[in-house]
Structure 1
Amino acid sequence: MNMNLFAKASAIALGLAAVTPAQAVTFLYFPGTSAPTTGYNVINQFDTTAGITGSNFQINTPPSNSTGAPPAYATFGSSSYLSVLANGSATINFGAASAVEFDWGSIDAYNTLTVLLDGGSSFVITPGGNFTNDADGNQILANTNGLFQIFAEGNEKIVGLTLESSRNSFEIDNLATVPVPEPATWAMMIAGLGLVGGVMRRRAGATSVTFA
């Protein structure tokens, strides 16, 4: 079984997923866990602001200060992280993805995460709102520092994220995605499966000959 789907199913069983009928995305939170997990490719470690648009955001490094704190359990790559400051906004666009994850640090009720979907629609996630999790900004505890995953539902595709915060700060690190395969890739996969099936059929029908 796919490990991501297994994790998703397990988290839903534990009541960690937020799901409503006809929802464009579902999301999971794993306290005290870090990115990347199996099947995800890290696309941004936030060493620079390249590829990020918006206002009043910056790249921070430890130690913690009034402009942010690093996600407490992030272990991959460099120690730098993205911090969106008071009344700031940071948008990160990427290729179509079926799933996205990142390390979220010191989750606050004044953070807002908007998931940008293919076709121009979006889905908003609010800590303490539809993301029913502790959101008191604690910089150390697992309840507010961990791995956040977002899954596109149905035919949806995730193409970006917008982070907003009305106060200091909204901190993330190690953004990773599961890309949606291109049509040509799907065709190659289907052709490959057909080839394997043909080989297996030929092997099943082969006659064994023993020479005395």
Structure 2
Amino acid sequence: MTKYLVSILALACATQASAGNLVGNGDFEAGNTGFTSDYRHSPASGLDAGVYAVGASPTAWHGYFSAIGDHGSGSGNMLLVNGASDITKNVWVSGAIAVSAGQDYFFEAFVASLYPSSPPILTFLYALDGGPAQELATLSNTLELGVWEGLSTSFNTGSATTVQLFLRNAQPAYNGNDFAVDDVYLGTTSIVNPGPIGGVPEPATWAMMILGMGAVGGAMRRRKGNMPVSFA
């Protein structure tokens, strides 16, 4: 029994490892590459509205921004944004991403407000097979200043085999409206609320369930073996 459980666990771990993020440079560790933006790239300073940079220190980019680490390691890169009043501008745009037809996908990102007033309101959009961008959801950052919050949406590809993803900021305020984005994600399982669409357990979850059943079975066998013999 142990041999089979070990095999199941190995298969579960391999399946999870292969589930990966389809967004290239979604964690921004490669720098200012793998995406485009309607905002102006301003790596030296974040003082102006409608600019962005990729970096590891919000306060180095703008002295009044919250001092936080990135969402992943705490010391890596993130997308730093001084929000524009024009809510039609795209903050972040992916390239075309190959997807499977008829598949459900999660489109997610982590966001943190960097200034006490006017936190960001991210709009998630997608375009299938080069078509027009369609809005999926507009999600507000509601946590306290400098705290990463995972925002999650999902969609089905229908007959499409490529998708392009967009993030916009629906917060029009000129003052404040400063934020960071990290770990932009596309995949068939959620990284914000781990698990697939529809609530089917992950492979590792199945493995733990099987392990649990094996442990219960072993306990029952041991208990049965230790039962006193009754002589009638």
TM-score by length of 1: 0.44
Instruction: Choose between structure 1 and 2 for higher RCO, CA contacts under 8 A separated by at least 6 residues.
Output: 1
TM-score by length of 2: 0.42
